[in-house]
Amino acid sequence: MNSLPGNNTGAHGWRRLQARFAAYLQTHPLDVLIAAGVVGFGVIYALVVLNPSAHPSEDAAMLMRYAQHLAEGHGIVWNIGEAPVDGATDFLFMAAAAALVRAQLSIENSVRLIGLGSHLLTALIIYLSLRRGNRLGRLAAIFCVLYFLLGPGQRYVEAHFGTPFFALFVAITWYLAIRISESADAGPSPALSLAFALSALIMGLIRPEGVILAGLMLLSVVYFRGLAASKRVVGLFLSVFCLLGGLYFVWRWSYFGYPLPNPFYKKGGGYLYGGSLLMSLRNVRILFGPLLLLPLLGMRSRQTWRQTVFSLIPIVGFTLIWILLSGEMNYLMRFQYPLLPIALMSWPPLASGVWTDFKLPRLQELTRRKRAVAMAVVSVIALAVLREQQEMYQGVVSGADGRYDIAVMLNQYADRNYTIAATEAGLLPFYSEWAALDAWGLNDQWIAHSGQITSDYLRLHSPEIIMFHGRVDSFDRERANQPWPRMVQTLYEYANEHGYRLAAAFGETPRDLHYYYVSPDFPDSEAIVERIRATPYAWWASGRQAVNYALPLCQTNPHAQELCVTEESHP
């Protein structure tokens, strides 16, 4: 009997807390429960679709190597004992992962925990933003969140990318921008303006392009409110970026020795990349799907014209900036993905103006029969869209990868100060724990700044293993002036000139292979050659068993002679 009052008091306290939270967010208390249910769905969906044994993607493994070294106290370095290298462009994500590793989590669990938590929080922000002030009906808001949760976010978590972490702060910053745009004529409070500036700075510290996106969001605010009404926001924004952002910039320049992240020198170089721009436009079309119709409706309506332009400024601007960078490593549209929360938080409410412009009847104004028909049609369309969204990404599963298996095998020699030079500088360096030379240059300052690896630079490192990804056209002399074929030919010629043994040329076809050359000049050479050849090698793109088109196949399968790669022949 004594427990009943306590239970009532606890329930009353929970309802009061829920009501206060809802009042702060300008939503109904029921929305707090629905938001919690949406997050619960996200957790269940993650448990169903995520492959717990999936290996990191190549680019993700590079960042994990930096985070592991940072957690171990070596600094932000690619190779332990060498100078710092800023190859991990997701700076704050790397630092957060390193902090969790210091707290005794594995690096794999650390990055996945951050990714999944960020993904779920972003869904929560999207729902509460849409429901704030009844900007959108509950069913429509739930549809938007489900569209988000069924998208590629879970696949980024599975592949160990920090993309959801960046998307989270994009959503937070845009939510604050929306609140600023909706402020009264007196303007937003100093606290709201400061929160917007700080969140924008964090966004820029997570990814360098976050600085550009932050500037575009500020431009949206200024456009919507006018420069005179935005002076406080602009002033605090510039103060935060100049003071705190400036201190970070000075530190990083001093620490790394150059102002921009290393990959920007390799992937930018002051050129324009038309193919990257076309890829960005295509990715936005795929990511947004039917949502692309909503800004068209918003621009058609006189009532929502300004809100439409307000939301389009960061989306259009951020889509176009990818003409400045090569689009390589854009796994599952991850470079454009942070725009999805912006669109979901902004565009659905724009369609409401169409009802006013076209004088369409509201749902409650229809007869019961017409209302039922309308609800049925809308429900069928919504379920079809969600089903298509789910099917689009459910087949994208991280499978087996032979580079991981080779790396695990090589890890048994990690204490012998061996070096691997590789064009595939993710799984192999991370799991082998060997000193590594990134032949492409994303994690090598000298190569990134000079533009290309050379024989002299290879000789300086004298790698025990040379691994490169070579396609048939990589050995075409007419393409020797292009960066990737020139790098492949440099590695191939160096290996042959210095007597390296071709241990394996793995692939599904002889036109696209992973080559492994092993130097004869170290004690474990013969054993490593044999173990590479004996390792079952799954092809990264399909997960299917690859064929070793090197010498052992030619000895055992005379019918494959015309496909074979030998130590004496050109690849």
What are the tokens at 539? 């092809």
pLDDT of residue 378: 87
pLDDT of residue 4: 42
Three-state DSSP state, 518: strand
Partners of 515 in the beta sheet?
468, 505
Distance separating alpha carbons of residues 37 and 42, to the nearest angstrom: 9
Distance separating alpha carbons of residues 386 and 394, to the nearest angstrom: 12
Query: Percent of the chain at pLDDT above 70?
Result: 89
pLDDT per residue over 190-199, tens digit each? 999 999 999 9
Count CB atoms within 10 A of the CB of residue 285.
12
Q: Are residues 153 and 114 in the same domain?
A: yes
pLDDT of residue 11: 65
Is residue 348 in some structural domain?
yes
Q: Are residues 426 and 510 in the same domain?
A: yes
**CA angle in degrees (0–180, nearest 5) for 59-65-67:** 105
Q: Are residues 253 and 358 in the same domain?
A: yes
Cβ pair 447, 457 in contact under 8 A: yes
- In angstroms, what CA-CA distances link 99 with 58, 67, 111, 210, 380? 22, 9, 11, 22, 46
Alpha helices, DSSP H, located in 26-137: 29-49, 58-71, 91-102, 107-131
Distance separating alpha carbons of residues 167 and 182, to the nearest angstrom: 22
Distance separating alpha carbons of residues 166 and 245, to the nearest angstrom: 17
- Give the residue from 394, 429, 445 where a domain finishes: 394
Number of domains in the chain: 2
pLDDT per residue over 120-143, tens digit each? 999 999 999 999 877 888 999 999
Q: Are residues 410 and 357 in the same domain?
A: no
Q: Are residues 432 and 310 in the same domain?
A: no
- Provide mean pLDDT across the span 37-58: 92
- Provide mean pLDDT across the span 65-73: 98
What are the tokens at 243? 């003071």
Partners of 419 in the beta sheet?
435
pLDDT per residue over 163-174, tens digit each? 999 999 999 999
pLDDT per residue over 336-375, tens digit each? 999 999 999 998 888 766 666 667 777 777 788 888 888 8
- Provide mean pLDDT across the span 261-288: 91
The end-to-end CA distance of the chain, in Å, is: 83
Sheet bearing 501-509, strands edge to edge:
435-438, 419-422, 465-471, 512-518, 501-509, 547-548
Partners of 514 in the beta sheet?
469, 506
Is residue 440 in some structural domain?
yes
pLDDT per residue over 204-224, tens digit each? 999 999 999 999 999 999 999
- Provide mean pLDDT across the span 265-286: 91
- Provide mean pLDDT across the span 468-497: 87
Pairing of strands 547-548, 512-518: unpaired
Q: Pick the range with the lowest mean pLDDT from 272-276, 351-355, 487-491, 547-551.
A: 351-355
Q: Are residues 385 and 407 in the same domain?
A: no
pLDDT of residue 398: 67
Is residue 12 in some structural domain?
no
pLDDT of residue 551: 59
- Provide mean pLDDT across the span 75-83: 97
Distance separating alpha carbons of residues 304 and 291, to the nearest angstrom: 16
What are the tokens at 111? 């990055």
Whole-prediction pTM:
0.92
Is residue 251 in some structural domain?
yes
| Band of pLDDT at residue 474, cut at 50, 70 and 90 | confident
Residue 251 C-beta-side C-alpha neighbours within 13 Å: 9
- Give the residue from 394, 410, 442 where a domain finishes: 394
Is residue 1 in some structural domain?
no
Containing H/E element for 314? Answer: helix 305-320
Residue span of the structural domain in which 538 resides: 402-563
Is residue 15 in some structural domain?
no
Q: Are residues 432 and 382 in the same domain?
A: no
pLDDT per residue over 400-423, tens digit each? 899 999 999 999 999 999 999 999
Q: Are residues 429 and 542 in the same domain?
A: yes
Q: Pick the range with the lowest mean pLDDT from 194-208, 225-239, 356-370, 456-470.
A: 356-370
Distance separating alpha carbons of residues 27 and 547, to the nearest angstrom: 59
Is residue 110 in some structural domain?
yes
pLDDT of residue 24: 60
Q: Are residues 31 and 91 in the same domain?
A: yes
pLDDT of residue 5: 45
Is the pLDDT reported for residue 20 higher than 70?
Answer: no
**CA angle in degrees (0–180, nearest 5) for 441-447-448:** 65
- Provide mean pLDDT across the span 449-467: 96
- Give the residue from 394, 416, 432 where a domain finishes: 394
pLDDT of residue 299: 80
Q: Pick the range with the lowest mean pLDDT from 25-29, 139-143, 268-272, 354-358.
A: 354-358
Burial (CB < 10 A; 0-12, 13-18, 19+), residue 295, is: buried
Q: Are residues 137 and 199 in the same domain?
A: yes
pLDDT of residue 455: 97
Q: Are residues 66 and 199 in the same domain?
A: yes
What are the tokens at 99? 């902090």
Three-state DSSP state, 547: strand
Q: Are residues 478 and 542 in the same domain?
A: yes
Q: Pick the range with the lowest mean pLDDT from 23-37, 65-79, 368-382, 497-511.
A: 23-37
Is the pLDDT reported for residue 175 higher than 80?
Answer: yes
Cβ pair 538, 400 in contact under 8 A: yes
Query: Percent of the chain at pLDDT above 90?
Result: 71
Distance of alpha carbon 27 from the chain centroid:
31
Distance separating alpha carbons of residues 60 and 115, to the nearest angstrom: 12
- Provide mean pLDDT across the span 305-325: 94
Is the pLDDT reported for residue 559 higher than 70?
Answer: no
pLDDT per residue over 475-486, tens digit each? 777 677 888 999
Is the pLDDT reported for residue 296 higher than 60?
Answer: yes
Is the pLDDT reported for residue 21 higher than 70?
Answer: no
pLDDT of residue 3: 41
Residue 555 C-beta-side C-alpha neighbours within 13 Å: 6
Is residue 358 in some structural domain?
yes
Q: How many residues does the chain have?
A: 571
- 157: amino acid identity, one letter: V
Distance separating alpha carbons of residues 452 and 441, to the nearest angstrom: 8
- Provide mean pLDDT across the span 169-183: 96
Identify which of 445, 241, 208, 220 has the alpha carbon closest to the alpha carbon of residue 322: 208
